[in-house]
Structure 1
Amino acid sequence: MTVWDRPEPPTQPVPLDRERIVAAAVALADEGGLEAVSLRKVAARLDAGPMRLYRHIATKEELFDLMVDEVHAEIRPEEQPGDWRGALRVLAQRTRQAALRHEWLADLLGGRPALGPNGLAVTEATLAALDGLADVDTVLRAVETVSAYFTGAIRREIANLRAERATGLSEHDWQRASGPHVMSMLATGRFPALAKAVYDGTDVDAEASFATGLEWVLDAVAAKLTLPGGDSA
């Protein structure tokens, strides 16, 4: 039985329910990451005894599931785009935006499917946007491919943000600091392809890189989708 199938206990004199518990857990995670979240810490945040929380949530993993579903409410668009490409683009962009607001989300993306009501609503809306474009298996692989791209890209971006905070060096500061070492290695002539990338490549910010990569992935997905009648998507 999942946490969503299990009924909550009766209201106590001091109100406590899953909604308040999850809100407190999200606030703790926003402040200090997932390592700052435990049932005891959430209980302390709510000025409640830890055993009271166990009446609502059995494990920390259940709490994480509820937190992810809470954020899925932010990911789900109020109005779904009318075409499959727009739907997948919005899913990717809104997931990235949610992860930038809640960096801990990056640590929980890409695991088991989200089974909460908000997560299921996001999945339903996404699959509905591709309904009829191809057979079910092709549609599922298309969604998995786009999800794999934005999950990896988001994790990389969040990792860079965390490294920036840990070292106190921005991306450009780090590049300047590591520049002498990189230049000396390139001067050996052993890395010609890397040298070309360093000297001739264009530096873009994370948002532009994310958007470009997403469009390339969507182009690849379009080549696999076929509209009724045999026209390419």
Structure 2
Amino acid sequence: MTDVIWLRPERAATGRPAAHDRAEITAAAIGVADRGGLDAVSMRSVAVELGTGAASLYRYVASRDDLLDLMIDATAAECRLAPPTGDPVADLVAVAEGLHEVMVRHPWLPELAVTRPALGPGGVAVLDHVLGVLADHPGDAASKLEVFALLNALVATFARNEFAAADQSRRAVAYLGHVAAGGERPRISALFDELSTADPDPRDRRVTALAALLSGLLG
């Protein structure tokens, strides 16, 4: 049996008539992950989500790894792909921001994007778009594929760092608020007031960094 799920038949040739399809199973697995994280995803939990038995899922997917590959690729299909403008850096940043939006919707995704990237129909659509953006770039096929891989890795890294920073920031701000409320440290109170009114959106920094990295990459 091939390791690539998209090269296998959608379901086993023998057994009962199909009650579900890969799209339904994938959506159920994503729902489980969105609520409980990756650790919550198992053949059993997805089967419960679908109201069926775990054994029945094996007619459609061979393992949890198959589920993860399907989940990664299905989220790639959510990425907004705007028509190219002719500015490769700006167009790739736009792709990156589309991928980032998807990762914000699915906080479990950045980890998978870094540790086990998968390429199915959804990912191929994003790759094809990136190749269109780079159509006039003199780089060879291998270098363009590297740009695609690095784009995904960069976005996943930004998302992971932002999630971690947000969690650390919440804890720090909670204690700073406690200290500021005591009124005994006016500089801390002033700092807390400024933090409370600051714009926490890191988008500008992310877009600037991505543009600089991509400009260097494309030469």
Whether TM exceeds 0.5 here: the answer is yes
- 171 and 119 in structure 1: CA distance in 2 versus 1, 3 angstrom threshold: farther
Cα deviation digits, residues 104-135 of structure 1 (max 9, x gap): 11111124553211111111210221123122
CA distance in 2, matches of 1:34, 1:170: 24
- 94 and 46 in structure 1: CA distance in 2 versus 1, 3 angstrom threshold: same
1:155 counterpart (160, 167, 171):
160
CA distance in 2, matches of 1:81, 1:209: 23
Aligned to 1:110: 114
Aligned residues: 196
Whether 2:101 is the aligned partner of 1:97: answer yes
Note if contact 2:90-2:211 (Cα within 8 Å) is conserved in structure 1.
no
Instruction: Give the residue type in structure 1 aligned to 2:91.
Output: A
Note if contact 2:73-2:122 (Cα within 8 Å) is conserved in structure 1.
yes
Aligned to 1:57: 61
Residue 149 of structure 1 deviates from its aligned partner by: 2.7
Look up the SS of the partner of 1:81 in the other structure: coil
The normalised TM-score by structure 2 is: 0.77
The normalised TM-score by structure 1 is: 0.73
CA distance in 2, matches of 1:13, 1:146: 41
Note if contact 1:149-1:217 (Cα within 8 Å) is conserved in structure 2.
no
Note if contact 1:69-1:117 (Cα within 8 Å) is conserved in structure 2.
yes
1:186-197 map, 5 Å: none
Instruction: Give the residue type in structure 2 aligned to 1:48.
Output: T
1:43 counterpart (44, 47, 50):
47
CA distance in 2, matches of 1:111, 1:218: 22
1:6 counterpart (2, 5, 8):
8
Residue 19 of structure 1 deviates from its aligned partner by: 1.2
Note if contact 2:111-2:156 (Cα within 8 Å) is conserved in structure 1.
no
CA distance in 2, matches of 1:117, 1:207: 28
Aligned to 1:139: 144
- 91 and 178 in structure 1: CA distance in 2 versus 1, 3 angstrom threshold: farther
CA distance in 2, matches of 1:162, 1:59: 32
What's the RMSD between the two structures over aligned residues?
Answer: 2.8
